[in-house]
Structure formats: C-alpha cells, structure tokens
Amino acid sequence: MPNWLRKSFVVMVTILTFGLVTPSHAIFYDNSSTDKNPKRDIIEPTNEEGRSANIQSSTSEEIGHINKEEFIRKMIHEAENQSYAKFGPKIKPVIENEFSEVVLPNIEKAIQNVAEQYPEEELAFLAVTERPGGGQSEKIFHIKNETTDEDIIRFHVRRDQPPQQGYWFNFHYHTYHDQFQAHHELGTIYWDKNTPPKWMS
C-alpha cells in the first residue's frame, strides 16, 4: 500500500471516530524491512573496511579465478601491509625507505617464484596469514594453501648483533621444499648500536 494512501486512511479513521480510535502504528512499518534491505545490500559490498579486512582470508569462492599478475600484485600489497604492521610506529619510520628499496623487491621475486609453481586455477587457494608476530617473534607473514591449511613460504626477520657492529635486521624466507630449514636471504638493514624496540610496539 502506498504511503500517501496509508496516511489518508489514518486521517479518515481519526476524523470519523472523533479521535477515539487511531489505527495501529504497525501500518506504517509493514514494508519497513523490505524497504531497508535493498539499501543494505547496496551499501555492504562497497564497504572498504569490510573488503580490506577480508583480503587476507579470501577463499577461491570469494575471489574466483586469479591470474599470476593479479596474484603477485595482491601478495606484494599484503606483504607491504604486514611488514609495516610488524615494524610498528617506532621502527617503521627508521627503516621503511631502505625496506622498500632493498627488501621488498626480493620479496616480490620470491612471490613470483611461488606463482610459477602453481597453475593459475590453484592460485586462488593461496592466502596470506592474518597477523605478523610481535615482541621478539621473527614472523612477518606466511603464504599458506587454504585447501590443505599448510604453509608454502614463510617470510621472517631476525635481529642480529655481530660483535662491535650494533643491531641489524636480517630479512629472509623459508619454504616447504626443505621443511622450512634453509634461510633464503632477502636483505639486511642496519638499526643502531642501541637495542631495537619490540616488534609492533
């Protein structure tokens, strides 16, 4: 029933009964849920926060087929986000430029390597883990196969302190090919003579 017809009906009943009887307010809300649902359906998919929060845990059903270039681009974006989250506000401003120039290109090469090992229809099942390790943890992020729930490649950073040389951040990765035993170097960044803050602090 159109809104104008409802309002007319309410006024007519009120006049005829001298205000002693008023129609139920429910008449105004009969279609309230159906009126609002289409708007909600339009708003929710375009919510940027919702989309970015789900990128890390996307399954193949959500993202569908993805080609190698899209996969690499998506993984590099996640690698950068996870790395900066791990560095935290104390470490990030000091090392982010050198990280972008020295380490990130090598992370991209390692991710390209991963992409070459899988047919495109299986890339949709590879996802970045949700959170880097804080404190003294080496974990930056892992890429895992969601169908087997097993890690494929693990990106880490270790704090090194060679004698008389201060502190260095050693970026490296491990792969499932040797049960994550070998260190594959990505680059090192000098920190300072002083002990670095904890990750994510």
**pLDDT over threshold 80, residue 133:** yes
State pLDDT tens for residues 27-44: 444 444 444 444 333 333
> In this predicted structure, what is the pLDDT of residue 197?
96
| C-alpha to C-alpha distance for 60 and 124, rounded to whole angstroms | 5
pLDDT at 130: 78
- pLDDT at residue 169 tops 70: yes
Question: Per DSSP, what are the bridge partners of residue 154?
Answer: 142, 174
pLDDT at position 35 is 45
Q: Three-state secondary structure along the chain? A: CCHHHHHHHHHHHHHHCCCCCCCCCHHHHCCHHHHHHHHHHHHHHHCHHHHHHHHCCCCHHHHCCCCHHHHHHHHHHHHHHHHHHHHHHHHHHHHHHHHHHHHHHHHHHHHHHHHHCCCHHHHCCEEECCCCCCECCCEEEEEEECCCCEEEEEEEEEEECCCCCCEEEEEEEEEHHHCCCCCEEEEEEEEECCCCCCECC
> What pTM, to 2 d.p., does this model score?
0.67
Q: Which residue has the tokens 């704090």?
A: 159
Question: What span, in angstroms and rounded, lies between the C-alpha atoms of 140 and 92?
Answer: 13
Q: What is the reported pLDDT for 71? A: 94
Angle at 62 between CA 86 and CA 70, to 5 degrees: 65
Residue 24 pLDDT more than 60? no
CA dist 127 and 100 (Å) reads 22
Q: How high is the pLDDT of residue 8?
A: 64
Average pLDDT over the chain, rounded to an integer: 80
How far apart, in whole angstroms, are the C-alpha atoms of residue 43 and residue 37?
A: 10
